[in-house]
Amino acid sequence: MNTLALILIAALSAAWGVHTVWMSRRLRTARRDPLTGLWTRDAFTRQARRLLRNRHAVVVLADVDRFKQVNDTHGHAAGDALLAITATRLTHAVGRSGVVGRLGGDEFAAVLVDRDGTAADQLAVLGRILARPIETAPEVHTSVSLGWVRRADHPNEDLSALLQRADEAMYAAKRTPATVRRAALGRLLASVTGRRPGRRSTA
């Protein structure tokens, strides 16, 4: 094989390597929400299902309270900053062994592994942390309602059903002074496939 052929092969190999890296980066970017850096719904779903193989898993649903009011009063820049700091605080609380995703709008979901049985205390602390003002917009005062459910309490249910339970608990938290509520045992109040109007399901 002559020198020119070797050069061409080397050039093609290098070009293919660059293309592969570029495609990998594009794929990772597509799986991340551009505002918060969290996993998008599909990417979150894949990782959450994997974590749910662990019986100690806990599913959490979080929703920013009065988010429309924040946007209307302080502007969309303040609303975006609130979403970004909420994502950062959730990610820090869940840790490297869990996963956090933005399901859309001001709704977030997370799955964490609660090996020591302290999820209730951890989430109570998280609720207070999420209610703190953000440095870039200290005039913005709101809270984040959290609903959660233990995987072990419903071992035969899939991610969609567990999110529904967490969703119902979260709405119960919004109706009471508490910002954190654990899902009740028993049947779902709504069907798994038919969440409340305006809420999106995750299969």
Average pLDDT per consecutive 10 residues, the chain (203 residues; last block may be shorter):
62 51 45 93 95 96 92 89 94 94 95 94 94 82 93 94 96 88 80 42 43
Work out whether the CA dihedral 63, 65, 69, 73 comes out positive or negative.
negative
Q: What pLDDT, on a 0 to 100 scale, did the predictor assign at position 1?
A: 61
Please, what's the b/e burial string for 23-38 (b: 16 or more CB within 10 A of its CB; e: otherwise)?
Answer: eeeeeeeebebeebeb
Q: What pLDDT, on a 0 to 100 scale, did the predictor assign at position 62?
A: 96
Active site residues: 106
Q: What pLDDT, on a 0 to 100 scale, did the predictor assign at position 148?
A: 97
CA distance 38 to 20: 23
Tell me if 100 sits within 8 A of 62, measured CB to CB. no
